[in-house]
Amino acid sequence: MKLALFDYGAGNLHSLGKALEAAQATVTVTSDWDKALRLDGLVLPGVGAFGPAARALPDDIGPLRRRLEEGYPCLGICLGMQLLFDASDESDGHGIGLVPGRVRHLESAVVPHMGWNDVETAEDPIFDGIEQLVAYYANSYICEPVDSAAAIAWSTYEGRRFAAGLRAANTWGLQYHPEKSSLPGRQIITNFVRLAAETRQASPDSVESRA
């Protein structure tokens, strides 16, 4: 599997790239959208601010959003999950808009939310092989989808329950950092690589036709 790890200037690229490689993916770090979308799948890393990351998105976001709507595999982590939304309270800028909704400031006594937290999960293949998920967080903002059915995982922090994961077509967003979440997190990354491979096998000419 050839995956694009997109570099918008502040992502946690090294540890995430190593985790993807451990899951048998070939990783290309790139800030070139044409190059990224010619590969088998896309990973949007965490760490950074919404505004600068949004400015690294294509000027015309339509083709990228359509590719995701059509089933192009994508994994968005932390900030990468937030970029799947329309906009954020953090700063100006337009996200991809794949998931209708907005990114809101986490209204809690202690922000950012740092450290380990239980994650409730719905039935979804991204969680295959995981009986109990405790994940590592580093976030000051949370995602509020218009349609709550988009959420496939939830966490509670200081009494506030929020979406910890979501899915739209073959795009998964995770508010926590699986690459820092021990064996269950690495299983999630392995599952994504497998799911991307299954999508690739179902449409074997799709990547070559875009080369």
* Residue 208 in this model has a pLDDT that exceeds 50: no
- Cα separation of 169 and 95, whole Å? 17
Say what the pLDDT of residue 11 is: 65
Global confidence as pTM: 0.93
Say what the pLDDT of residue 179 is: 95
- Cα separation of 204 and 209, whole Å? 9
Q: How many CA atoms lie within 13 A of 76 on its CB side?
A: 28
What is the DSSP track for 158-193? TTEEEEEEEEETTEEEESSBGGGSHHHHHHHHHHHH
Please answer whether residues 11 and 45 qualify as being in contact, where contact means their C-beta atoms are separated by less than 8 angstroms. Answer: yes
% pLDDT > 70, the chain: 95
Say what the pLDDT of residue 204 is: 56
The neighbour count for residue 159, using CB atoms within 10 Å, is: 7
Active-site residue list: 78, 177, 179
More confident residue, 110 or 5: 5
Mean pLDDT calculated for residue range 41-63:
92
**Domains contained in the chain, number:** 1
Say what the pLDDT of residue 76 is: 97
- pLDDT, one tens digit per residue, over 160-198 is 999 999 999 999 999 999 999 999 999 999 999 999 999
- Cα separation of 119 and 155, whole Å? 5
Partners of 152 in beta bridges: none
| Structural domain span for residue 162 | 2-210
The CATH code of the domain that includes 186 is 3.40.50.880
Say what the pLDDT of residue 47 is: 77
- pLDDT, one tens digit per residue, over 97-143 is 999 999 999 988 888 999 999 999 999 999 999 999 999 999 999 99
- For CA atoms 3, 87, 65, 191, the dihedral sign is positive
* Residue 201 in this model has a pLDDT that exceeds 90: no
